[in-house]
Chains A and B, each alone.
Chain A
Amino acid sequence: MLDGNAVAGLLQEVFGTDVTAATGTCASCTAVDAVGAVHVYVAAGVVLRCPHCGSVLMRVVRSDKRLWVDLRGLRSLQLESI
């Protein structure tokens, strides 16, 4: 198990800016954490899980030249505007 810090580059590909310092709200238990601090599992894709309840927050799968992103477990994301 890793944490959000380890997939900072992948998340920056998805969002176009760093989101590890952003805070996310878990749609399941409403806990709020920095994305850098959430649990990360790497297999065929990357799965971010809530460190409090274990629910899936986000899934990212790469295939060829596409990234598939599932955000249904993340109620909201709050980040500093540039």
Chain B
Amino acid sequence: MAGAAVLGRLTWRVATVLDVRPETARAKTLVLGVDGWPGHRAGQHLDVRLTSEDGYQAQRSYSIASAPRQDRLELTVERIDDGEVSPYLAGDDLREGDRFEVRGPVGGYFVWRSDAAGDVLLVAGGSGIVPLMAMVRQRAEETSPVPTRLLYSARSWDDVIYRDELERLAGAGFEPLFTLTRSQPAGWTGYARRVDASLLGEVAPTPPAATFVCGPTPFVEAAASALVGLRHPPERIKTERFGPTGG
């Protein structure tokens, strides 16, 4: 039963850095080529494993930012200064041609199916935009008509990852909305407050068919409980939290 033996088995593969793009002061996008990558679904993760010269290994899980395709994929990594993995991945030393190990894709819960019917609400806090961006990009690539609204909370306009692309993709049923919680550029007409029940009630007056919330733990807890308080059915809300040990 050779086929059954490999079913679901994860193997570490070598990823080669094809390009590095700065996104914000703290976040970078890594374009990776992975031999034998089986493809992924929007919202899935991969595990990264770094091995030092003395054999010490550090491992972290990162959301995939790109729409599904097999020959390459993108991660967007925010640098956490006391982290073990992100200072290398999002630091100044990583170069085109560098290699490290990855395995995946993993995760089947926080996943968007492009053939699912009904409107979608995406709620992002900070770098929680990353897995949601994979969904936005897949929707755009497939010219999906699914009405999709994104509420993206960031500290300032300079902290908004993918902002040019998000603005470019607006239209054809996709509506990105931004709330800037600490500082706003002159003439700012978007939201300037924290994501709470009143803001979510404005953005989603009726419960969408599916809601995805991703961000730091307190953000996710607040947004998800506010949505339930607004009588959104809990089974339609999927959450993904990340915290300090995610660095």
Whether A2 and B241, one on each chain, are in contact in the complex, defined by CB atoms closer than 8 angstroms, is yes
With contacts A9-B47, A21-B109, A36-B107 known, is A1 near B241, CB below 8 A? Answer: yes
* CB within 8 Å for A5 and B8 given contacts A37-B238, A42-B245: no
B239 on interface, CB distance cutoff 8 Å: yes
B104, B109, B241: most-surrounded residue (chain A CB, <10 A): B109
Report the separation of the CA atoms of residues A13 and B8 in the bound assembly, to the nearest whole angstrom.
9
Chain B interface residue number, banded: 20 to 34
Count chain A residues whose beta carbon lies closer than 8 angstroms to a beta carbon of B.
22
CA distance A3 to B214 in the complex (A): 11
Q: Is the CB of B103 within 8 A of A9?
A: yes
Cβ–Cβ contact B241 & A9, under 8 A: no
A1 & B243 in contact (Cβ 8 Å cutoff): yes
- Do residues A5 and B246 form an inter-chain contact, with CB atoms below 8 A? no
CB-based contact A6/B109 at 8 Å? no
- The complex places the Cα of A4 from the Cα of B8 at a distance, in Å, of 18
Task: Check if B242 is an interface residue, CB within 8 A of chain A.
Answer: yes
**Given contacts A1-B243, A2-B241, are A9 and B109 in contact (CB under 8 A)?**
no
Residues of B in contact with A (beta carbons under 8 Å apart): 7-10, 45-47, 61, 103-104, 106-111, 217, 238-243, 245-246
B104 cross-chain contacts in A, Cβ below 8 A: 9
Question: A34 near B109 (CB under 8 angstroms)?
Answer: yes
In the complex with contacts A2-B245, A8-B107, A16-B9 CB distance below 8 A: yes
Residue A17 interfacial (CB < 8 Å) = yes
Among candidates A8, A34, A37, residue contacting B106 with C-beta atoms closer than 8 Å: A8
Given contacts A9-B10, A16-B8, A18-B8, are A2 and B243 in contact (CB under 8 A)? yes
Which residue from B9, B103, B111, B246 sits with its C-beta under 8 Å from A6? B246
Among A7, A13, A16, A37, which residue has its beta carbon within 8 angstroms of that of B61? A7
A1 and B109: CB pair below 8 A? Answer: no
- Whether B109 pairs with A5 at a CB distance below 8 angstroms is yes
Residue of A nearest to B245 (CB): A42
Asked if A5 and B45 make an inter-chain contact with CB atoms under 8 angstroms apart, the answer reads yes
The answer to whether residues A6 and B61 also contact, given A18-B107, A18-B108, A20-B107 and a CB cut-off of 8 A, is yes
In the bound assembly, the distance between CA atoms of A13 and B110 in angstroms comes to 19
Task: Output the least CB separation between B59 and chain A (Å).
Answer: 8
Minimum Cβ distance to chain B for residue A67 (Å): 13
Give the chain B neighbours of A6 by CB distance below 8 A.
45, 61, 241-242, 246
Question: 0/1 per residue, A19-50, Cβ < 8 Å to B?
Answer: 01100000000000011110000100000000
